[in-house]
Each structure stands twice: as structure tokens, then as C-alpha cells.
A and B are shown apart, each in its own frame.
Chain A
């Protein structure tokens, strides 16, 4: 544990260049230079575009972060960085930059798994989060139910057999021209819509707690192909129904896992965890079943470097952890 240290962390596994600084468990800086504008015109993250943007941004962001924290380089005790999983061309930028900073300053370098970052993100706002707990990690790159037996000991109970939940949002949003990223776009359009207007499937899998989203996506696309204006379906009704189908699916396997494992605490993370409807349903479920619930605020649910600080502070590095299950199942490309 490095509770009284100044930790500088980097996260560049996908399309956000992120840097955070934590001092005495307090988050001083949490900077995210999003590339959403760049990728929006392509309707998705283009790996080569993402890598280039990371290189262009990282050093400026580094100096800005130190300035904002009003720290000197010599104040830094530990440097951490995501070392995977993610887009390789993006990871190498943050990882090499971070490691070079650590080397130059003669400070320890801690490589952190991106998924472990998400698992430890809730600690920033909810330091009382204590294993065992079940976490629902949902984003454009991963959809997992992870049992945290103790810090450093994880079991992957369920994962998606095809698309990630965030991909299901992105693909439909692209199809409908709603915008990128799909999750926030669909959430916005669904505001005030009737989520029961259109009946869409809640796909089941053979795996006990596994997910599948490609059937839902296909069903929705078939539905839209046949849709006629006189059917009277509005954008917001469709968006609300589709969102509801994803959220229901996510809640299905997760609530089953929570009940069957009888774990007292639930948590979550990833970009899709910023979804309002999912957060509402999780909160209701926790209350009904008398579970503790510690979900990071939306800004700490989506990819960020504060979560890498949080994992580094707990010394949850990839060096000595058995986290193969978590890593291998979540490689983005």
C-alpha cells in the first residue's frame, strides 16, 4: 500500500489520453484528453488515428497535469501506467512515456492492468469498498462479471461471447446515424421515450453468467430495415427500447451471479456504467436485495488514469498478479 505517496499515472489503452496524480489518497488531477471529436467522423475508434493522437498529446498533458497539481517532478514518488489490454499502438505510447519518466526520475514504475484499474476505481469515492465483491465491467471493449475475492485475487465469472455491450450501443447508433460513442448518444435520444414500445430479444447464452449482444443487434437491425414511417415509431421510443434491452441483459446475468454467489457487495465500471438507466436498475436491485453498492461516478467509470492511480496505490500491479483470466478475455483488437 502506498497511501502516503504521490502517484502519477497514465492510461492510453484506447482513445483517451489520460493522466492523473494522487497524493495522500487524494486525487489532485484527473485529466482526460478525449479523441471523441476525431473518431466521431469515422463512427468508431480508428486504431492508427488513436495512436497518433496519443503521441501528439501525451507530453503536453503531462506538463499541464504537473502544473495543475502544483507539483515539481521531484515530488513524484511512483509512476504507473496501463500495460494492457487494449489497442497495442495506443498502449505503447502511454506505457513507454510513463516508464521513461519513472526511469529518468529514478522512481519505481508500476504496470497496471486496465481491468484491475476499473475494479479499483470505486475506491477513489468509496474507500469502504472491501472484498469480496462482484463487479460488472462494461464498455466498448469488455463485458465481464468479475468476482474480487480479495485484492489481487480475481475470478472471471462471466463474459460476452460476441460483442461487448458498448459495441452493441455503438453499432446501432452508427446504423441509425445517432452519433458516436453510441451509449451516450442513445441515452440522450431515449430521454422521454417508451422503453416498452418495441419488443426486442434479451439473448441468453449457454454459459452460466455469460453475455451475448450480437443477436440483439441483428434483431434490432432487421426490425429497422422493415420499419415504415407509418408504423409510427419515433427515434426516442426505439432508442429507449434498445437501451432497455441492453440494460436488461446486463442485469440478467449479473443479478443471477450476485444471488447465487451471495456476495454482500456489488460494484462496477467501464464506459457503459455511465449509463443512467443501468445505474438506476443496479441501485434498485441493490436496495431490494440488501447489498452494498459502490459504483464510481460516471467520470470515473469511463476510461481514466485516476483508476490506475487507485490500483497503483494498492500495489495491484501486473508483475505479481494472476490475472490472466481477466486480461485474455478483454483484448480489444
Chain B
């Protein structure tokens, strides 16, 4: 049984296949209007590795945080494929996947993901034998609050994720901080966490899987500001 992992939350669209070990992996730079990219990529991956759809046993899905449209494409493809092939979807938080990829470190791990509009999703982790545990809940920080966060913290730490998208002056410039890989969430970082969740059988039903938007939707229309009092005679 093969597991398909997908990630569409950032500037790259990636997919990989694992049986016992990695069977194949593809990654493409995402671009505007790349609506068909993910499904084409999955198809190419299966063709290249000679794997048939009926041999897929689960989908490990990057449910964000990240770019909304990309997340929705990944979510829709996973639900479409999962629903048609009758296979489970294992949702994986991108921040968790970044931290997990760095779990052999002995330092505290800070995972950062760009969510556009100069805001970042942020979460800290403590390495434990065989994995990581969250030290905090994921939160949204702008550059200023990220800076403050780093300034207040003189623990030895490892930064993973989109730290390379931060201005140099936003990055902590001290000997306690190490800038490390992975810099992006990818299908392969998603797989590592997804596989553990899958083996522990602790994943939700398809209709309980939610995208980690982390922000309420923008509402530009407001009834109260537009509604005027009109003097009808009834």
C-alpha cells in the first residue's frame, strides 16, 4: 500500500509516494493560475513510479497554515481523490511537519510559515525522544511581534521554515539562534508526520478535516454601514 503526501501551502507544489520507503517525489514552483498543477503532478508521479491508483492506501495532506488558494487546491484534490478511491485523508499541520523534520536537534525549535500580508504563523516546539511536542499553540505574528518574540527569548533555539523571507533585521542576530532546514513545508515533511498519525490510527473522518486558515475571512461589505434609513410611509 502506497501513501500519497501532498503540500500546496506555499510557493511550491509537491507530492511524494511512500511504500516502506520513499518511492518517488516531485516538486514544482507554484505560479499564478497553476490550478491544474497539483493533479498533473500526482499523475506524473504515479506514471513515473509505475504505481496504480488502486494501490494508494492513504493521503497525507498539508492542511496549512499557508496561502489560502493553494491550501484549497490541495484540500479539494485530496477530498476528490480520497472520496473517489475510498481512502482516508490524514491532515498534517505544516508547522508540526517543519519542527518534526528538525527533531534530532537538542534545541528548542521555532517553526515559521509565511501566510502573506507580512504575517507569519509561528509555533515553538521542544524535541523529545522520537519527535517534538508543541510548547505553545500556533499563532499569527507580524514582523514587529516576531522581533519582540525573539528579543525576549535568549534560549538556544533553531529556526525552521520561512525565516529566509524575513528581513535581515527581523531575524535574531545572536549566538543562541541557528537558522536551519527545512525552509519549506513539502510533501516529504508532511509524510513523516502523517505516517505517525496514520500508524497510530488517530486521524479524523473526512468531514472533520479543516484547513488551518488561522485568520477570520476578510469582510469588506458591511450591512450596517451601507443601510440607510429610508423614509417610506409604511
A234/B232 contact (C-beta < 8 A), A104-B84, A104-B85, A177-B227 known: yes
Q: How far is B234's CA from A52's CA once the two chains are assembled, in angstroms? A: 39
Main SS class of interface, B: helix
Residue of chain B at shortest CB distance from A105: B84
CA distance A255 to B112 in the complex (A): 60
What residues on B are CB-neighbors of A43 within 8 Å?
221-223, 226-227
The answer to whether B223 touches A174 (Cβ under 8 A) is yes
Residue-wise, chain B 70-82 has the 8 Å CB interface mask toward A (1 for contact) of: 0011011111110
Quick check: B226 and A96 within 8 Å, CB to CB? Answer: no
Q: How many residues of B contact A (CB 8 A)?
A: 41
Contact A42/B219 with A101-B83, A231-B233, A238-B232 known, Cβ cut-off 8 Å: yes
Knowing A55-B211, A232-B233, the reply to whether A73 touches B226 (Cβ < 8 A) is no
Q: Assess whether A228 is interfacial by the CB under 8 Å rule.
A: yes
Q: A46 touches which one: B35, B68, B69, B219 (CB < 8 A)?
A: B219
- Complex contacts, B79 vs chain A, CB 8 Å: 55, 58-59, 97, 100
For residues 208 through 234 of chain B, which have their beta carbon under 8 Å from a beta carbon of chain A? 210-211, 213, 217-223, 226-228, 230-234
B76 lies within 8 A of A42 (CB): no
When distances are taken between beta carbons in the complex, the residues of chain B under 8 Å from A227 are: 230-232
Which residues of B have CB within 8 Å of A254? none
Binds B, one of A86-94, A118-126, A312-320: A86-94
Stretch at the interface among B22-30, B36-44, B157-165, B181-189: B36-44
Contact status of A89 and B69, CB under 8 A, knowing A59-B83, A59-B207, A174-B223: yes
CA gap between A176 and B228 in the complex, in Å = 6
- In the assembled complex, A144 has its CB within 8 A of some CB on chain B: no
A62 interface residue per 8 A CB criterion = yes
CA of A234 to CA of B213, assembled, Å:
45
Known: A88-B69, A92-B69. A63 touches B83 (CB 8 A): yes
Q: Which of A166-181 contact B (CB under 8 A)?
A: 174-177
A48 contacts B226, CB within 8 Å? no
Known contacts A42-B219, A46-B219, A55-B76; is A104 also within 8 Å of B233 by CB? no
- Residue from A52, A95, A103 in contact with B43 in the complex, judged by beta carbons closer than 8 Å: A103
A51 in contact with B84 (CB, 8 Å): no
Query: Least Cβ distance of A121 to chain B in Å?
Result: 25
Given contacts A51-B72, A59-B207, A231-B233, contact A175 B227 (CB under 8 A): yes
**Cβ 8 A contact of B217, one of A46, A177, A225, A231:** A46
- B206 interface residue, CB < 8 Å from A? yes
**In the complex, chain A residues 3-59 whose Cβ is within 8 Å of any chain B Cβ:** 41-44, 46, 48-49, 51-52, 55-56, 58-59
CA distance A254 to B124 in the complex (A): 63
Known: A48-B218, A97-B79, A105-B84. 8 other contacts (CB 8 A): A42-B221, A55-B211, A94-B76, A100-B76, A100-B77, A104-B81, A177-B230, A229-B233
21 contacts between A and B (CB under 8 A): A46-B219, A48-B68, A59-B206, A73-B84, A92-B69, A92-B72, A92-B76, A95-B76, A96-B80, A97-B77, A99-B39, A99-B77, A100-B84, A103-B42, A103-B43, A104-B84, A177-B230, A224-B228, A224-B230, A229-B232, A230-B233
